[in-house]
Structure 1
Amino acid sequence: MSTLTVSARWTFRLHRWAVVVWAVLVVSIGGLLLWTAGPLADEADRSWRQAEACSKLSRCMVDMGMFQAMYGFMTAAVVLLPILVAAWAGATLTARELESGTALIAWTQGVTPVRWLAVRLALPAGVLTVSATLLVVLHRYAWAAPEDRTGPYSRWWEPFTFHANGPTTVTACLTALAAGALTGLLVRRTLPALGITVAASAVLLGGAHWLMPHLQTPVTEVAPFRNGYPGLFTGVELSYGLVTRTGAHIPTPECRATSGDACLRLYEQRGGTGFYNSYHPESHYWPLQLTTSALLLVVTALLTVACFAVLRRRTG
């Protein structure tokens, strides 16, 4: 039996409870997403049609069901998975074994430090990739389940829906795994590594979300004042405001007037000729997803290289 197989089995034995908890979590979220996509989505469609039919009545009460609440809860659960991965990786993947001396015992049993770390990164990475991909597919199915998309359903550009529907959640899990492993190697104490990893992962993933709209060239549309802001609330927005006579784009001046006409006169006095909006339409969804995922994979690769560099320095 090869040392690689021995190391893989030993890793599974050490972290078997984490595997069990993760499996229960994935199955639970997946089952609830299927329930949301099935009976709850059907109920939401019927309720929305009833609401439209009785909207002209003076009194109209319609039970909209549990779809929106359950969808929001499941979306948050999927998006927050990387933080859970970061907490586990920072607390137990490397820090606990170094703190307890388990890693040193493994290294004296024919498992090299490099192979020890490679197994601890590769096995969780494979499990995370498969399970997170499954949950993303199920979430996208639940999001698209209601037939009548004119209802009060989540739009594709809403931050949690955007990430839960695409590969950025999968790559974020891998980034959190690498960040946790590196923190454990540097700190080598369970509780401090847990807190540092969660904070660092939140900063990394928040930074990726902030950079996401800037990784692709946005669409900029201009419209006269009477048409309002073009394309507002239809995509991922970067900026909007006034277009001046010189063609410059400036923020919309503050207007406390009680009428829209008074505000328009104020805008014209400031040199405005119309409104502009820079945003990403729905056609940019996959380019934004893929570029953000590529960025997270680069960060993951850098963190992984740093893990091996730190381990080599610590073990000689």
Structure 2
Amino acid sequence: MSTLSVTAAPAHPRQARWTFLLHRWALAVWVTLVVAISGLLLWAAGPLADESDRAWHRLDACRRLSRCVVDTGSYSTTYTFLTYAMILLPFVVAAWAGATLTARELESGTALMAWTQSVSPVRWLAVRLTLPAVVLTVGASLLVALHRFAWEAPEERTGNRPTWWVPFTFHANGPTIVTACLTALAVGTLTGLLVRRTLPALGVSVAASVLLLGGAHWLMPHLRTSVTEVGPFQDGYPDLYTGVELSHGLVTRTGAHIPTPECQATSMDVCRRIYEQRGGTGFYTTFHPASHFWPLQLTTSALLLVVTALLTAASFVVLRRRTG
């Protein structure tokens, strides 16, 4: 591997200001996104939730009619759209960090000029990581708080709200979306240092973020001990669709948990006899209840922070090897 010999120069006192000027358009886009999503979340939590509440009251009043059509408003549609927008934010961060935070300056030679004339490589990278990390943390934390406010808005009204364990709602309602943005920032930074070309770094950063964040979501239910509820056949599956589900099936006479055998009969009594012939005594459900929301959020966030720290450390190692 070829290296660049760079003589460390005294830290430039205006390095932070230069970083701000260089990425001011990215900052403007981020602030615009945060302000726009925040405003729409407040709109959803207030007027749209009230509109939905009035519609549900009208629906309740006309249930005795043979035909009843009520427009429940746009709360649900707006909430869903904003939740999707928040979930996409880490990937937007990854694309920006991979394309412009490090790769563009390395590709154009601006970074080498800064290292030889005004600032050391380590300080150059530290400033480029610290300032965006602060801005991302503040903005994403505000959005999480407002998203929870919008999600909780129907609770004191008649209308329904999305269940807490739906994946997108789960992440948008807690710190995992904040740490996901920081992980995406670290992914993009490291990718830019390794690839050193703007467009390839953008694509690799987004793909790597999808894999990392998707893996974290997959691991999330396994980071805390789950709860298993068992019940007789006549009661159905206990607590099914009330939390983050891991599995459900039959309980046998030996206490083993097995998948539910296929049964295409129209009568539950017939299916129950089939289940009993297979040694079944009841149903079980293994899941995380609502009380596990914050433990799952915190353990997943801690995992993402560890990954972020490792990626950041790797970025400094790569930079040191590249600059000698």
Give yes or no for TM over 0.5: yes
3-state SS in 1 of match to 2:286: strand
2:226 — aligned with what? Answer: 218
2:4 — aligned with what? Answer: none
2:173 — aligned with what? Answer: 165
1:246-265 mapped onto 2 (5 Å cutoff):
246-265=254-273
Normalising by structure 2, what TM-score? 0.95
3-state SS in 1 of match to 2:41: helix
The answer to whether the 8 A contact 1:45-1:147 is kept is no
- The CA deviation at 1:148 is 4.8
Q: Which runs of 5+ in 1 are unaligned?
A: none
1:225-266 deviation per Cα after TM superposition (whole angstroms, max 9, x unaligned): 000101011100000000000000001111111222211111
Normalising by structure 1, what TM-score? 0.98
Separation in 2, partners of 1:135, 1:92: 24
Aligned CA distance change for structure 1 residues 241 and 133 (closer, same or farther; 3 Å): same
Equivalent of 1:286 in 285, 294, 298: 294
Amino acid at match of 1:253: P
- The CA deviation at 1:149 is 6.6
The answer to whether the 8 A contact 1:45-1:148 is kept is no
3-state SS in 2 of match to 1:273: strand
Amino acid at match of 1:137: A
Separation in 1, partners of 2:323, 2:250: 60
* 158-167 or 8-17, larger mean C-alpha shift: 8-17
1:314 — aligned with what? Answer: 322
Separation in 2, partners of 1:109, 1:160: 47
Aligned CA distance change for structure 1 residues 148 and 53 (closer, same or farther; 3 Å): farther
3-state SS in 1 of match to 2:283: strand
3-state SS in 2 of match to 1:5: coil
Equivalent of 1:272 in 275, 280, 299: 280
1:194-213 mapped onto 2 (5 Å cutoff):
194-213=202-221
* 256-265 or 301-310, larger mean C-alpha shift: 256-265
* 185-194 or 138-147, larger mean C-alpha shift: 138-147
The answer to whether the 8 A contact 1:213-1:288 is kept is yes
3-state SS in 2 of match to 1:237: strand
Equivalent of 1:48 in 56, 63, 70: 56
1:18-73 deviation per Cα after TM superposition (whole angstroms, max 9, x unaligned): 01111111100000000000000111111112222222321101011000000000
The answer to whether the 8 A contact 1:4-1:115 is kept is no
The answer to whether the 8 A contact 2:154-2:160 is kept is no
Residues matched between the structures, number: 315
The answer to whether the 8 A contact 2:91-2:209 is kept is yes
Equivalent of 1:25 in 16, 25, 33: 33
3-state SS in 2 of match to 1:108: helix
3-state SS in 1 of match to 2:178: helix
- The CA deviation at 1:278 is 0.4
The answer to whether the 8 A contact 1:95-1:185 is kept is yes
1:84 — aligned with what? Answer: 92
Equivalent of 1:116 in 101, 111, 124: 124
Report % sequence identity: 75
Separation in 2, partners of 1:199, 1:254: 38
Amino acid at match of 2:177: T
2:16 — aligned with what? Answer: 8
Separation in 2, partners of 1:150, 1:227: 28
1:175-211 deviation per Cα after TM superposition (whole angstroms, max 9, x unaligned): 0000000000000000000000000001100000000
CA RMSD, Structure 1 to Structure 2 (Å): 1.1
1:36 — aligned with what? Answer: 44
* 258-267 or 295-304, larger mean C-alpha shift: 258-267
Separation in 2, partners of 1:218, 1:55: 40
1:140 aligns with 2:171: no
- The CA deviation at 1:150 is 6.5
Equivalent of 1:107 in 115, 122, 128: 115
1:56-110 deviation per Cα after TM superposition (whole angstroms, max 9, x unaligned): 3211010110000000000111111101100100100000000011101111222
- The CA deviation at 1:174 is 0.2
Separation in 1, partners of 2:188, 2:157: 40
Separation in 2, partners of 1:55, 1:79: 37
The answer to whether the 8 A contact 2:12-2:118 is kept is no
* 211-220 or 7-16, larger mean C-alpha shift: 7-16
1:54-93 mapped onto 2 (5 Å cutoff):
54-93=62-101
Separation in 2, partners of 1:32, 1:227: 42
The answer to whether the 8 A contact 1:79-1:164 is kept is yes
- The CA deviation at 1:4 is 4.9
Amino acid at match of 1:303: L
